Structure 1
């Protein structure tokens, strides 16, 4: 009977230790202390009564103690794994948020330019067609327009609006500019020869893929003229992205 009582006491201690470990109430040292106390209790001299006394093997306690220590190590390891998993999840959430921010930034695309900076002047006439470089940049959200080349390069697929206006004061040469998509003609704006200031403008909505290039080209034997009024302009913006 006393051997059975010892087993029951040990099982009760086992349940208490496990519960405390799960609830975070006991540290590893406290669990070991609990186990040592049970060792001393079970190894203390026992008084046997005649009739129902029986020999209790200390190997049983050794096996249970080893199981408890293994359980403690497993719980500790799992807690460390959970902390590592939480850290990785936070890192992934941060990366995901950064990617979302980049995508949102890429959806904000707009530019507005004029032909010359500060001072007036004339562009042309030339013997061959040239790309018109609008060097005075009012707005370039998304940096899709390059003021060094005059080219707009689509950073993502979408529907884009483009508008341009040309002005000529010249009495001899007309003015013609054409909007090109990847070098292919889309539409023109024309000014015939006259003796006064003449304006012409045009606009278009285009579906662009990533990397498509939009440019304005000045025809041969044509001129553009501008002054501080910034009459020759080129602008565009993303209406909405497409999948």
Structure 2
């Protein structure tokens, strides 16, 4: 700023001097000669003194109007040098920031690649889980199909009549099959054979008319488990009973009519034998009767 002020002062002084020369029409030599002539005519002895004073005034005027241009230039140079230093610092900062931006860009690109790989891996895992789930569901369905065991049957396929009495116990055959899921019941022999180890529910009902009564029993293998018994001298009579048993694979369950007893059946299906698997058990499960 100081340098600009100095330059303006120099220009202003130069214009002033030129203007004086134009307006006066005299140059410095003419002015000096005129002053010398006048002084010589009027005060000859004072000419040297006046010239010395004029020279001193001129030097003072120059010192007042023209500041030290070298000092201004030095100050301007220092300012420019300082600005260059600032510019270098800014350039270094910008370069550093660009490097940081490049590193951030590289990091973002790397993270995107990792995210893409992670997403592909997750999609792969999801596909594997989905396929595994479908496979497991199909396996469970197959396993459940193997565990779907239930049957229900009645005595006569057609007609009506008495069964018994006999002199010994006989195994009743329920030939009219309503349900036989798993085909574990044999309508020819009247025997149910356990295909799986598990807990099974069985129920039997008997119907008779008057004497000599109707009595039957549920057997597991050759063991008598529960009995159904009904007796009265006249009219219809009936009885039912049920049991839950733990069966091993290959165990058999059936119904036997006692000796000297009889039952009656018709299209109304008075006598029935039913059973189903409640739930399977592991092979290492300890069964207690």
Scaled by the length of structure 2, the TM-score of the pair is 0.49
Aligned residue in 1 for 2:235: 196
Distance 1:182 1:98 in 2: 35
Structure 1 segments unaligned to the other structure (5+ residues): 1-89
Please identify the structure whose Cα radius of gyration is greater.
2
Aligned residue in 1 for 2:260: 221
What is the root-mean-square deviation of aligned Cα atoms in Å?
2.0
Distance 2:139 2:199 in 1: 22
Change (3 A) 1:194 1:106: farther
Distance 1:172 1:238 in 2: 36
Distance 2:141 2:266 in 1: 40
Distance 1:116 1:153 in 2: 21
Deviations along 1:108-159, one digit per CA (max 9) or x if unpaired, are 0000111111211111111111100000000000000000000000000111
Q: Does 1:125 align with 2:152?
A: no
In terms of mean alpha carbon deviation, does 156-165 or 96-105 score higher? 96-105
Deviations along 1:4-43, one digit per CA (max 9) or x if unpaired, are xxxxxxxxxxxxxxxxxxxxxxxxxxxxxxxxxxxxxxxx
Q: CA deviation at 1:97?
A: 8.4
Q: How does 1:1-243 map to 2 (within 5 A)?
A: 101-169=141-209, 171-243=210-282
Deviations along 1:170-208, one digit per CA (max 9) or x if unpaired, are x33111100000010000000113211111000111111
Q: Secondary structure at the match of 1:137?
A: strand
Distance 2:165 2:221 in 1: 24
Distance 1:139 1:147 in 2: 11
Change (3 A) 1:98 1:149: farther
Q: Secondary structure at the match of 1:222?
A: coil
Distance 1:108 1:224 in 2: 31
Matched-pair contact (CA < 8 Å) for 2:198–2:247: yes
Q: Secondary structure at the match of 1:103?
A: helix
Q: Secondary structure at the match of 2:183?
A: coil
